[in-house]
Structure 1
Amino acid sequence: MTEPLLALTWTDHVTGRQGHVVVDRLVRGVSSGGLRMREGCTLDEVRGLARGMTMKEALHYNPDGKYIPLGGAKGGIDCDPRDPRAYGVLVRFLRAVRPYIEAMWTTGEDLGLTQDTVDRAAAEAGLVSCVQAVYRLLDDEVTARRRLTDAFAVEVDGIGLDELAGGCGVAESVLVALDRAGAARTGTRVSVQGLGTMGGATARFLARAGLRIVAVADVKGTIANPAGLDVEALLAARDAYGSVDRAALGPGDRELPGDAWLSADADVLVPAAVSYAVDTANQAAITARWIVEAANMPVLPEAEELLARRGVTVLPDVVVNSGTNAWWWWTLFGDIGADADEAFAHIRRSMRELTGLTLARAEADGTTPRAAAHAIAADRLPVIADRFGRYA
């Protein structure tokens, strides 16, 4: 694995908290990757996430599309987002790394942060936008920025389109896996870790596709119901951090320990919260046939090897959760407009093609879907570099 182009660590002079930025690769001088905030975030974690972003960008390369794939990058702040001091830390971090955001790193929400919070802090830090580095690649900046602003204003059943885009992609990846295996959608049982932006949207799309959500986990524990949870009621009872008000639970819902989502009697597990959720010890409790990585890096490599030996298929994050990032750029560059139906159709079509290609490559190569996705990205990266250049 090659070293990233840039890796830096910042220390907050007020709290002592640290933040990290890693630019793994540039395309036409620009990279893309969100900013997360969580207690314990490390430079190594951000480095791995940035490498993943490089692959996500490459995997969505369409030579006929308007969207120009960018390089991969990521940011991370070691701080609990619930800490009263967290917002101040965020503003000071953005102020400190402002030159990189202005010149080469486009960023946005990730674990622990909402886009509204990032945008508000970015303005306070003196930034025009958290994606301003990409503006010079646009044919018509004013129109493109208006299109993205309009898209962020779209709501579907009370939830913003920006919050639904990624979950639509995750759900489509699940449906592709079921379809290829000849498994019926109706009644397929799903357990989801995390009911925030990604997990909540994924649960909604899967429930509406006929799958049965039998367990969801948040910071308070796991909520389970083998007959199926009322996903819409749970979503309506969430707070800003994806924690569900237990007063909204139905009569058949049970409260279980936080790790019970792993061992739930389910066909599909969707880790949609923290990294490193599945390790060599707790993987033994998993009985599901598929693990679909809505979160970034939730399954440790050693655990994935053990799962593969047991016949459990892991659909990798670089494919599964790439829809959010791609939706931003499809909208900004003009491949799609500020319309929910158009966005969902484009996401479904693209994710179905990419997930199907990944699973077919894995089958043909006799390897895992993750190895197949990495191989596809490795094939495309030189093509992108030759066409667009790294620093121009």
Structure 2
Amino acid sequence: MHAPLLSLTWTDHVTGRQGHLVVDRLVRGVSSGGLRMRAGCTLEEVTGLARGMTMKEALHYDADSDSGAPPARYVPLGGAKGGIDCDPRDPEAYGVLVRYLRAMRPYIENIWTTGEDLGLSQDIIDRAAAEAGLVSTVQAVHPLLTDEAEARKRLADAFAVEVGGIGLDELVGGCGVAESVLTALDRAGTDHVGTRVSVQGLGTMGGATARFLSRAGLKVVAVADIKGTIANPDGLDVEALLAARDAYGTVDRTALRSGDRELPGDAWLAADAEVLVPAAVSYAIDSANQSRITARWIVEAANMPVLPEAERLLAARGITVLPDVVVNSATNAWWWWTLFGDIGADAEESFAHTRRSMRALTGRMLARAEADGTTPRTAAHAIVAERLPVIAERFGWYR
């Protein structure tokens, strides 16, 4: 892979905490990638995430859209990522966020579009961005829009939509993860109903994934949050757990039913389930703890949760990893489908478009892996390797 276009580390003059920005690539002069905040966030981590965003953008580009089907209004951007080394629960965290955004203002105004990621909600980022003097965290893309005012209203309207008490912007990512799971089950001839799932993390991505999978008939038997793992072999009441969680995805234990058990934090790994969904931190599955996993599929709802050596060991045991660059890519794509006008500010239209796109993308990846005799991740990377030169030829690296 190429070296990133831009890589920088910022030090907060008030607290001494550090933040990072990596722009992996520009397409049409713009890059896309969220901003995360967690204690221990490193430049290496952000670099890997930025490269992943380049791949996600490329995977959602239909190179043949201009020959046959009506062309999509959204065409890909480059990949980027921001990260701040700070616990988001720290009393100083919000001030650090505002100062980071103020320092990154020239990049956000011109080349980097960003939004919520691990540890930060869009509401908090928007509030901090306004305090930092920004018009929007996606203002760098505004010059590419046909009608900026209409596009911004459409996105704002979409963010105002709620379904079952959860914002549409939170749900689309989980809808995409769930569709990846269902596509894999269908290709394997496995019934949806009764297939057991264990989820690490009940925040934005994990919570929405649990909702869509349970509504598809799968049985969520374990979920993990910062306090530990909640398990029930007969299936958890997902909606009750979602209603009892705080802004960080931590579940109020008074909401548990008599059959629900509280287990150690890492018990989700060894849950008796066919599908394992790491939906929280990066590097959650390593070469040591992978031996505890008995699931048939690991579905990366989080970014980079499975380390490379662990994935090699899992593959040798016949366990398939569905990679993050495909599985969790719907959130980013939904922003752009909405902003550019490929879909409106409507939940059912958003879910239908997400399901259709993610089923096609996951199916293409799995078919490529089967044809080439490789892993799904290798297949996804091969698809990216074919598409990036086409994107560079059509849109340039920088312009």
Q: For residues 319 and 388 of structure 2, what CA distance do their matches in structure 1 show? A: 29
SS state at 1:332 partner = helix
> After TM superposition, which residue ranges in structure 1, 4 or more long, deviate above 3 angstroms?
none
1:47: which partner in 2?
47
Q: For residues 370 and 330 of structure 1, what CA distance do their matches in structure 2 show? A: 25
Q: Which amino acid aligns with 1:234?
A: L
Q: Which amino acid aligns with 2:6?
A: L
2:68: which partner in 1?
none
2:334: which partner in 1?
327
Q: Does 1:356 align with 2:363?
A: yes
Question: Displacement of 1:385 after TM fit?
Answer: 1.3
Of residues 180, 183, 188 in structure 2, which corresponds to 1:173? 180
The number of residue pairs the alignment matches comes to 392
Q: For residues 386 and 332 of structure 2, what CA distance do their matches in structure 1 show? A: 20
1:33: which partner in 2?
33
2:391: which partner in 1?
384
Of residues 159, 164, 173 in structure 2, which corresponds to 1:157? 164
2:150: which partner in 1?
143
Q: Does 1:293 align with 2:295?
A: no
Q: What are the Cα deviations for residues 184-228 of structure 1, in whole angstroms up to 9, with x where unaligned?
A: 100000000000000000000000000000000000000000000
Q: For residues 173 and 300 of structure 1, what CA distance do their matches in structure 2 show? A: 20
Q: Does 1:219 align with 2:233?
A: no
Of residues 105, 117, 123 in structure 1, which corresponds to 2:130? 123
Q: For residues 311 and 398 of structure 2, what CA distance do their matches in structure 1 show? A: 36
Q: Does 1:105 align with 2:112?
A: yes
Alignment of 1:50-129 (within 5 A): 50-62=50-62, 63=65, 64-129=71-136
Q: For residues 345 and 37 of structure 1, what CA distance do their matches in structure 2 show? A: 31
Q: Does 1:284 align with 2:284?
A: no
2:13: which partner in 1?
13
Question: Displacement of 1:2 after TM fit?
Answer: 1.2
Q: For residues 318 and 162 of structure 1, what CA distance do their matches in structure 2 show? A: 19
SS state at 1:65 partner = coil
Q: What are the Cα deviations for residues 319-370 of structure 1, in whole angstroms up to 9, with x where unaligned?
A: 0000000000000000000000000000000000000000000001110000
Share of identical aligned residues, percent?
83
Question: Displacement of 1:147 after TM fit?
Answer: 0.3
Q: For residues 25 and 85 of structure 1, what CA distance do their matches in structure 2 show? A: 32
Q: Which amino acid aligns with 1:19?
A: G
Q: For residues 27 and 301 of structure 2, what CA distance do their matches in structure 1 show? A: 25
Question: Displacement of 1:285 after TM fit?
Answer: 0.1
Q: For residues 377 and 193 of structure 1, what CA distance do their matches in structure 2 show? A: 28
Question: Displacement of 1:386 after TM fit?
Answer: 1.2
Which segment drifts farther, 78-87 or 56-65? 56-65
The alignment's C-alpha RMSD in Å is: 0.5
Q: Which amino acid aligns with 2:305?
A: P
2:244: which partner in 1?
237
Of residues 302, 305, 310 in structure 2, which corresponds to 1:303? 310
1:366: which partner in 2?
373
Question: Displacement of 1:382 after TM fit?
Answer: 1.0
Question: Displacement of 1:391 after TM fit?
Answer: 2.1
SS state at 1:262 partner = helix
Question: Displacement of 1:68 after TM fit?
Answer: 1.6
Q: For residues 370 and 149 of structure 1, what CA distance do their matches in structure 2 show? A: 34
Q: For residues 204 and 119 of structure 2, what CA distance do their matches in structure 1 show? A: 10
2:261: which partner in 1?
254
Question: Displacement of 1:388 after TM fit?
Answer: 1.4
What stretches of structure 1 of length at least 5 have no aligned partner? none
Of residues 261, 273, 291 in structure 2, which corresponds to 1:266? 273
Q: Which amino acid aligns with 1:143?
A: E
What stretches of structure 2 of length at least 5 have no aligned partner? 66-70
Question: Displacement of 1:66 after TM fit?
Answer: 0.7
Q: What are the Cα deviations for residues 46-91 of structure 1, in whole angstroms up to 9, with x where unaligned?
A: 0000000000000000232111200000000000000000000000
Q: For residues 59 and 242 of structure 2, what CA distance do their matches in structure 1 show? A: 31
Q: TM-score, normalised by structure 1?
A: 1.00
Q: Which amino acid aligns with 1:291?
A: I
Q: For residues 227 and 307 of structure 1, what CA distance do their matches in structure 2 show? A: 27
Q: For residues 132 and 26 of structure 2, what CA distance do their matches in structure 1 show? A: 24
Question: Displacement of 1:183 after TM fit?
Answer: 0.3
Q: Which amino acid aligns with 1:265?
A: D
SS state at 1:192 partner = strand
Q: What are the Cα deviations for residues 252-293 of structure 1, in whole angstroms up to 9, with x where unaligned?
A: 000000000000000000000000000000000000000000
1:189: which partner in 2?
196
Q: Which amino acid aligns with 2:23?
A: V
Q: For residues 282 and 58 of structure 2, what CA distance do their matches in structure 1 show? A: 22
Q: For residues 51 and 387 of structure 2, what CA distance do their matches in structure 1 show? A: 15
Q: For residues 334 and 132 of structure 1, what CA distance do their matches in structure 2 show? A: 16
Question: Displacement of 1:389 after TM fit?
Answer: 1.6
Q: Which amino acid aligns with 1:33?
A: G
Q: For residues 303 and 18 of structure 1, what CA distance do their matches in structure 2 show? A: 29
Question: Displacement of 1:390 after TM fit?
Answer: 2.3
Q: For residues 164 and 292 of structure 1, what CA distance do their matches in structure 2 show? A: 17
Q: Does 1:346 align with 2:356?
A: no
